[in-house]
């Protein structure tokens, strides 16, 4: 009878710091994006600087972080790339919010105008 030998399974041991980063990486990214987005809104950081930082962070993640052997480096570069990409979306979110606010005001004005024009008293 022939015995089958399976290749040894290598367990992935994650450090406590890497596990904490993995669990919190979205929350950290959102927090960083909120702070930096606020800086963009008040004009402390130019938007084109944010675009350059986002491009650099994404390139760093794709070239170094994504395949790095250390979990901490992978998670930190992912956090940097995601937070920077979220900040790039801040001006887009402002434009969309402004459009929705104007559309709401126009709809209310049209509704009130219709109500006033149809009032027969």
Strand (E) positions, the chain?
none
pLDDT at position 112 is: 96
pLDDT at position 99 is: 97
Q: Taking the model in full, what pTM does it have?
A: 0.71
* C-alpha atoms less than 13 angstroms from C-alpha of 96 in its C-beta half-sphere: 5
pLDDT at position 5 is: 63
Distance (Å, whole) CA 45 – CA 84: 13
pLDDT at position 97 is: 94
pLDDT at position 8 is: 56
Please give the structure tokens belonging to residue 8: 């040894």
Look up residue 70 and give its DSSP letter. Answer: S
Residue 114: CB atoms within 10 Å: 10
In 3D, which of 65, 72, 69, 70 has the Cα closest to residue 21?
72
Q: Which residue stretches of the chain have pLDDT < 70?
A: 1-12
């Amino acid at each position: 009878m022939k015995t089958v030998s399976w290749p040894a399974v290598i367990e992935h041991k994650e450090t406590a710091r890497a596990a904490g980063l993995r669990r919190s990486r979205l929350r950290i990214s959102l927090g960083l994006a909120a702070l930096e987005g606020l800086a963009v809104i008040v004009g402390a950081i130019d938007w084109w600087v944010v675009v350059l930082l986002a491009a650099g962070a994404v390139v760093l993640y794709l070239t170094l972080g994504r395949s790095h052997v250390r979990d901490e480096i992978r998670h930190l570069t992912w956090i940097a790339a995601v937070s920077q990409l979220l900040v790039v979306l801040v001006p887009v979110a402002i434009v969309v919010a402004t459009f929705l606010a104007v559309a709401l005001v126009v709809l209310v004005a049209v509704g009130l105008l219709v109500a006033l024009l149809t009032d027969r008293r």
